[in-house]
Chain A
Amino acid sequence: MAGHVVAVEDVKSGERTDVAYEHPFIVRLCHWVNAVALFVLIGSGLQIFKAFPSFGAKIPQHNLINWPKSLALGGWLGGALQWHLTFMWIYIASGFVYIGYQLISGNYKQVLFGRRDIPGVWPMVRHYFFFAPKPPVNQPYNPLQKHAYSSAIVLGAISVATGLAIWKPVQFSWLAWLMGGFHWARLWHFLIMWALIAFIFGHLVMIVIHGWNNFVSMLTGWKKDPEYHLE
């Protein structure tokens, strides 16, 4: 059961530590598969963008945005497309398995941002960005965290939908239409990538701030010294 707290006792010293099982196996598996897939998709996406960086008709072609080749993956357009069209399946599969598991197991309650979490967002923002005291912790994810993760999942779903609209603008012409047309679908796909990059950046910063125990919990599922054991 996620978020369940137990005590671990060192028999020799008699020292006790609280631990909580926070991340079920499927969640951890999908997290790491997805992390690799997203890394590859962003890298190859940057290379694909390099083939034609301005989203419009071929003439004139402007390099509106540019980044070093070293950040891109695949070497050339054909190579990048191979990576992109391979890892998109891994990305989609991990997304489906994750969402399916969360819904069936009921574990989604731990991560899904709901109406009840709204009042808790502002105190967390004040804590992180304006040095206010940390609000009491009584669940694995605080309201701001839930908001971030829930948003990331929605962004992931939109990244797939926009990608599908670009890849198959004829078979899924309704998807492209939904996004305001083929050109907009391409632009949305690109912007969603930046939103995901922003999420990853924030995510990594938080991992560094919250330390080793927190990081290890995504590997073993167990978190040492969860702050909510006092509840």
Chain B
Amino acid sequence: MDSPIKKTQFKRVTRRELLKLTPVAALGAFAIPSLQKPLLKAGLGFSDWASAKLFRTQHLAPTFDDSELTPFEKFPVNDYDVDDPEVELDNWTLTVSGAVQKPGDYKLVAIQQLPKVVRNTRHVCVEGWDVIGRFGGARLSDFLKMIGADTSARFVYVECADDYYESIDMATALHPQSMLCYEMYDRPLTREHGAPLRLTIPTKIGYKQAKYLTDLKVTNVLQKVGYWEDQGYSEFYGL
């Protein structure tokens, strides 16, 4: 055993060692009401940044056999307001604006003329449930090409008949599985599932998959991010 040290000296040592832990107290900033909101916003922002970095443009979401499909009747209907915003299906058009060469009103047949894709993918809700559904429609990337969208713009922003709104980052919008969906389970979209046109993006969380689309804008600037995002949910939420 070494020669003994003095008690006074030992007290100094332990006090110094204790003080070295003061950085831990910085976490207490999260308990201060005025700091809590910006700190959590920064934390969520960092998560979104990491999400965008983890996103791989050509990495496909898993697809499933028909036997693994959730029965259509069991596919949940989730909306923030009404199941049926009473879209006039006969006169419906998608109004396209923003950084595109061919803005204007697009009828459903124009979208249906694009190559049709049908696949079974998982729909994951932020609440914690998920289902596997069968979706049919046109690739969002094909539609963006058709309208002459500037794909160097940052976002595709959509508005809906029920006043819901959403934005998708361009990398995700161009992903091969991102879809303007007009069919579920090989039948035209029903009203509660977003007739006549909705987004289906298997690399994103459920609230990004807006229903009852009415407007689509290609833009670099967002006035609003999305209905849930503007209340504090993740803006990117890639899966």
Contact = CB atoms under 8 A, between A and B. Distances in A.
Nearest to B131: A57
Given A6-B2, A32-B21, A171 B239 contact: yes
Interface string A169-200: 11101000000001100100000000000000
B208 to A, nearest CB: 13
Contact of B7 (A11, A86, A89, A90): A11
Nearest to B204: A170
B93 interface: no
B14 A222 contact: yes
A85 B44 contact: yes
Nearest to B55: A171
Interface string A63-83: 000000000000001110111
A138 to B, nearest CB: 15
Contact of A222 (B13, B20, B70, B129): B13
Contact of A7 (B5, B127, B228): B5
Nearest to A11: B6
B59 A171 contact: yes
Interface in A149-175: 167-171, 173
B210 to A, nearest CB: 18
Nearest to A13: B7
Interface string A15-46: 01001000001001100110010001000000
Interface stretch (A48-56, A139-147, A204-212): A48-56
Contact of A220 (B6, B18, B130): B18
Contacts of B231: 78
B4 A6 contact: yes
Interface stretch (B103-111, B118-126, B179-187): B118-126
A51 B4 contact: no
B127 A86 contact: no
A62 B1 CA distance: 64
Given A89-B43, A171-B239, A25 B126 contact: no
A8 B6 CA distance: 6
Contacts of B13: 222
Given A9-B5, A170-B61, A86 B43 contact: yes
Contacts of A28: 17, 20-21
Given A7-B5, A57-B131, A86 B17 contact: no
Contacts of A85: 43-44, 47, 234
Interface residues of B, number: 57
Nearest to A52: B128
Interface string A119-144: 00000000000000000000000000
A87 interface: yes
A219 interface: yes
B76 A29 contact: no
B4 A8 contact: yes
A173 B78 CA distance: 25
Interface in B1-53: 1-8, 10, 13-15, 17-18, 20-21, 23-24, 27, 30, 39-44, 46-47, 51
Contacts of B1: 5-7
Contact of B5 (A8, A89, A90): A8
Contacts of A29: 20-21, 23-24
A95 to B, nearest CB: 15
Given A6-B4, A171-B238, A173-B62, A86 B18 contact: no
B109 to A, nearest CB: 32
A167 B238 CA distance: 8
A171 B56 contact: yes
A104 interface: no
Contacts of B128: 48-49, 51-52, 55, 186
B239 A222 contact: no
A87 B43 contact: yes
Contact of B129 (A5, A56, A81, A90): A56
25 contacts: A8-B6, A16-B4, A25-B20, A29-B21, A29-B23, A29-B24, A52-B125, A52-B128, A55-B128, A57-B131, A77-B126, A82-B232, A83-B40, A86-B47, A88-B47, A89-B47, A170-B203, A170-B238, A170-B239, A171-B56, A171-B59, A183-B130, A219-B18, A221-B17, A222-B13
